[in-house]
Amino acid sequence: MAKQKQPLVKNIYTADPSAHVFEGKIYIYPSHDLQHECEDNDNGDQYNMEDYHILCMDNVDSECVDCGEVLHMDEVPWVSKQMWAPDAAYKNGKYYLFFPARDKEGIFRIGVAVSDKPAGKFIPEKNYIEGSFSIDPAVLVDDDNEAYIYFGGLWGGQLEKWKTGVFDENATEPDMDKNAVGPRVARLREDMLGFAEDVKEIVILDENGEPLKAGDEDRRYFEGPWMHKYQGKYYFSYSTGTTHKIVYAVGDDPMGPFQYKGVILEPVLGWTTHHSIVQVGEKWYLFYHDCELSGGVNSMRCVKYCELQYNEDGTIQTIKP
Ligand code: FUB
């Protein structure tokens, strides 16, 4: 039986859970953390993952099952290393697994793999999505069947190196009083295998309608985007990285802008925090990770879940891990 706030599986280390209800079950698309000797640094070298496993639960109370490996980096011609946080989407009868990894030049790109079933096996496209960069793809298929991909992560995820639209190895984050680097969004093509239009930078606004500043580390975007809809509004949530929170901002358009609203999850054990939000029946759930299973090793994480509750005004109640 799965219990809230307990590791969902213990046979492997898992992180970055993207949860969806497909075909009446809960499918979780996580990163698969490995035990290895890589250096623990700000570049994320310690997150040296090689493949993806999919987890499945019949319902929120049932056992969580590891469905096994569905994609390995050796099967993806453009990948050199580091298969980081994935997400999956369903459209037009097929399932799509979106995943970031470093290409042969060491630049993070986003790839896509396709399956007829939610638990794979997934067959990768030969090349990464043209025009893609950075990490942590999250996909929303909206009620009108338009699909949007959100992505980006600072530091190891290289987002600040794309300020000009071209990769600049030496680019750094903006000064503290300048506008924060925004996450990115692109509309996906009807076949889900490429961007339909140019990538756009998302703006997250403060309570006065001003863009959040780079020095506002309690609120500015760092990595791990997620998009869900609640009562017709678009809820864009993400990790603040250096301050280790999951926070959210709300807007009327899937491409933003979004106004900052508050904290969803207080810091967990471990440096990274990463989440997804999914409705199962009448209730809403937060899937997240921490490092409890490894006793606090940053690169050996475990996926958990708990119920998420809204207030009457549509704000989300803050969860303590
Ligand atoms: O799992 C590797 C990276 O750590 C993810 O891409 C980030 O979101 C962070 O969780």
Cis bond upstream, residue 257 (ω within 30) = yes
Ligand 1 atom nearest to 100, measured from its CA = 6
Tell me whether residue 223 is one of the annotated catalytic residues: yes
Tell me whether residue 16 is one of the annotated catalytic residues: yes
- The answer to whether the beta carbons of residues 57 and 26 sit under 8 Å apart is yes
- Structure confidence by residue, pLDDT tens digits, 8-62: 999 999 999 999 999 999 999 999 999 887 788 888 888 999 999 999 999 999 9
Give the SS3 label for residue 243: helix
Q: Write down all domains in the chain, each with its CATH number in brackets.
A: 13-308 (2.115.10.20)
pTM score of the predicted model: 0.98
Under the banding of pLDDT at 50, 70 and 90, the label for residue 219 is very high
- Collect all residues with Cβ–Cβ distance below 8 Å to 196 and sequence separation of at least 6: 186, 187, 188, 189, 190
Which amino acid makes up residue 92? N
**Residues with a CB atom less than 6 Å from ligand 1:** 15-16, 31, 47, 84-85, 135-136, 153, 223-224, 272, 274
pLDDT of residue 44: 87
Which of 84, 98, 273, 301 to probe ligand 1 with, by most ligand atoms within 8 A of CB? Answer: 84
- Structure confidence by residue, pLDDT tens digits, 50-103: 999 999 999 999 999 999 999 999 999 999 999 999 999 999 999 999 999 999
- Collect all residues with Cβ–Cβ distance below 8 Å to 260 and sequence separation of at least 6: 204, 205, 206, 207, 212, 219, 247, 248, 249
pLDDT of residue 2: 87
Helices vs strands, H then E, count in the chain: 0, 21
